[in-house]
Amino acid sequence: MEKNKPTTFVKIIYILISILLICFILYPMLNIIIYSVDKNSIFQVSHEKLNNGLKLLNNSLLLSITTTIISTTIGFIAALTLKRINFRGRKLLRILMLTPLINPPFVGSIAYIMLFGKRGLITNKLLGLSISPFGFKGIVIMQSLGLISLAYILISSAIDKINPSLEEAARNMGASEWDVFKTITFRTMLPEITNTSLLIFLSSMADFSTPIIIGGSYRTLAAQLYIEITGLFDLRTGALLGTLLLLPCLLAFMLQKYVVSKRLYFSDRISSEDIEYKGINKFVKYILIAITMLYILLICVKYLFIVMGGFTVQWGHDYTFTLDHFKAIFTRDFSAFGNSIKLALVSASISSLLGVFLSYLMYRKNFKTSQIIDFIATLPAAVPGILYGMAYLTTFNKEPLVLIGTKIVIYIICITRFMNVGLRTGYALLSHIDPSMELASFNLGMGEIGTFAWITLPQLKPAFVNSFMKNFSSGMVTLGAIILLMIPSNKVAVQMIFLSTYGYTIGAAAAMSLLLSFTSLAFLGLFYLIFNLDNIFKMRRDKGENSI
């Protein structure tokens, strides 16, 4: 990779972005750590609460490790099945695998309560039981159902990068299908598998909503942090618990980086073309398909019961068909959906632009502080959302910069939290772009701005599109980072769903979940068409030429 010296204009842009990151990422995180460990905090937090925090940390670790193992394993199986095994209905199953990504994990709790709650269809109506199935198992099931899809999409991208010629060469040398998988396929996928495990672990550690709704007596650190702040109004204890929550997350983040850095993983193939496993044992093949289809069946059952809940007067008591829940949304709560769309659209656009542009500056230009700025920009990925929100709450509630109580604060926190997605997708793309085209443009007198606009920018479009689509879907369902910063005028749909689910108002929660899902799908479909207009017109043009 060839780096060149930045011009004054580029330096100014880099400095401005760096100041943004320092002010709105590094400063809040340092402030919350100092706030939690100063003398006043230590003396104000009782010994009993500290011991309770350590017990909750153990609960969180057990829950997150269990969820990570289950989600990564099933996601890995689903990715192999849908990318490497050819069978009927595979394309439809791929689409269904992605549906949990448009809703937060706790939305599945609605269906779980409808089936297994005290007035649930299975526990009460079919079995006549009045027991509560909530607790550790319920949280693991709900988190796993939501996060397996994330594991699937990340590991699928790793399968696309595997060079099939390496696998074929190993087979020609007499290696069995298992040996090929173990020595080539799995090892090539290891960076994405470890990255997937890290993201799922962090998501589980940061999830406070699912444990609160169906955790019962099983409490986690993130859930207790939320209760300390919103229920007990104890910022000191909340800050200390937040710091305890941060430690294993940072440790897992650094461990993943260390594991990947110990080996060089490289493949020169980037394609969505599927390579079928032909030598796989039939029994193994059917087992993989069965596991994948069982998971997709559970997804379908979840959404089926959410649909039923949205059109039922009162689940468990009155199953009469009604549209009242949807009418109530359009008459009273629809502003929350408008706020969600604005938040997702603005934060996705700005964070993707800044992230991809920053990746270009640090990858192509010679800045001495690149590694430091890269670390700061990536830091939010390792910080639980609710702790990140609390850092803003304790930092921007006083001079010199008061943001708490304003609408803009939730936009800033989402932009800074999502920037690392554009940064990483930009890095991944730039590593495959030859800088000689930019150099040739310079030599022909195009200039830096002209070269960036006409040569570099079109090449970076895929990174921006991928980042935007991911950040938009995240913006529609984000809750942990913003829930402590919300004011009535900027409430969002996912917050209303959480409050309705928390209050066991099943019909309203189900109706809002359905509307949120359809809204997200509609906008993602629209953006997909907009971003792929060139390809669509090209396909039509080619089809017309071929017909002639």
Kindly report the CATH number assigned to the domain that includes residue 480. Answer: 1.10.3720.10
At 277 the pLDDT is 62
Give 505-509's long-range contacts (Cβ < 8 A, gap of 24+): 506/110, 506/113, 506/114, 506/309, 506/312, 506/314, 506/315, 506/316, 507/309, 507/310, 507/312, 507/313, 507/314, 507/315, 507/322, 507/324, 507/325, 508/325, 508/328, 508/329, 509/110, 509/309
Q: How confident is the model at residue 267 (pLDDT cuts 50, 70, 90)?
A: low
Q: How confident is the model at residue 109 (pLDDT cuts 50, 70, 90)?
A: confident
At 91 the pLDDT is 85
Q: What is the mean pLDDT of residues 352-358?
A: 92
Q: Is residue 188 part of a domain?
A: no
| CB contact at 8 A, 228 and 234 | yes
Query: In this predicted model, which residue has the larger pLDDT, 481 or 347?
Result: 347
Range of the domain at 414: 1-35+329-548
Q: Is residue 7 part of a domain?
A: yes
Q: How confident is the model at residue 78 (pLDDT cuts 50, 70, 90)?
A: very high
At 69 the pLDDT is 96
Q: Is residue 389 part of a domain?
A: yes
Q: Is residue 323 part of a domain?
A: no
Of 41-55, 63-77, 387-401, minimum mean pLDDT range: 41-55
Q: What is the mean pLDDT of residues 534-544?
A: 64
Query: In this predicted model, which residue has the larger pLDDT, 251 or 174?
Result: 251
Percent of the chain whose pLDDT exceeds 90? 23
Identify the helix (H) or strand (E) that includes residue 495: helix 493-502
Q: Is residue 295 part of a domain?
A: no
At 396 the pLDDT is 93
User: What six digits make up the tokens of 242?
Assistant: 């937040």
Q: How confident is the model at residue 341 (pLDDT cuts 50, 70, 90)?
A: very high
At 1 the pLDDT is 43
Q: Is residue 215 part of a domain?
A: no
Query: In this predicted model, which residue has the larger pLDDT, 41 or 186?
Result: 186
Q: Is residue 503 part of a domain?
A: yes
Q: What is the mean pLDDT of residues 462-487?
A: 88
Could you give the C-alpha distances from 59 to 52, 55, 62, 149, 303, in angstroms and in order? 11, 6, 5, 24, 29
The 8-class DSSP code of residue 4 comes to: B
Number of structural domains in the chain: 1
Q: pLDDT for 164-181, tens place per residue?
A: 777 778 777 877 777 877
Decide if pLDDT at 392 tops 90.
yes
Decide if pLDDT at 417 tops 90.
yes
Q: How confident is the model at residue 131 (pLDDT cuts 50, 70, 90)?
A: low
Q: pLDDT for 231-242, tens place per residue?
A: 877 787 888 888
Of 302, 319, 322, 300, which Cα lies nearest the Cα of 311?
A: 322
The reported pTM is: 0.82
Q: How confident is the model at residue 544 (pLDDT cuts 50, 70, 90)?
A: low
Report the alpha-carbon distance of residue 101 to residue 98 in Å, rounded. 6
Q: How confident is the model at residue 279 (pLDDT cuts 50, 70, 90)?
A: low
Report the alpha-carbon distance of residue 305 to residue 315 in Å, rounded. 10
At 330 the pLDDT is 82
What is the residue-averaged pLDDT of the chain? Answer: 83
Q: Is residue 245 part of a domain?
A: no
At 195 the pLDDT is 82
Q: How confident is the model at residue 121 (pLDDT cuts 50, 70, 90)?
A: confident
User: What six digits make up the tokens of 215?
Assistant: 């955790």
| CB contact at 8 A, 220 and 208 | yes
Decide if pLDDT at 118 tops 50.
yes
Query: In this predicted model, which residue has the larger pLDDT, 177 or 131?
Result: 177
First-residue to last-residue Cα distance in the chain: 45
Identify the helix (H) or strand (E) that includes residue 266: none
Decide if pLDDT at 42 tops 60.
no
Report the alpha-carbon distance of residue 503 to residue 305 in Å, rounded. 18
Q: DSSP labels for 395-459?
A: HTEETTEE-TTSSHHHHHHHHHHHHHHHHHHHHHHHTTS-THHHHHHHHTT--HHHHIIIIIHHH
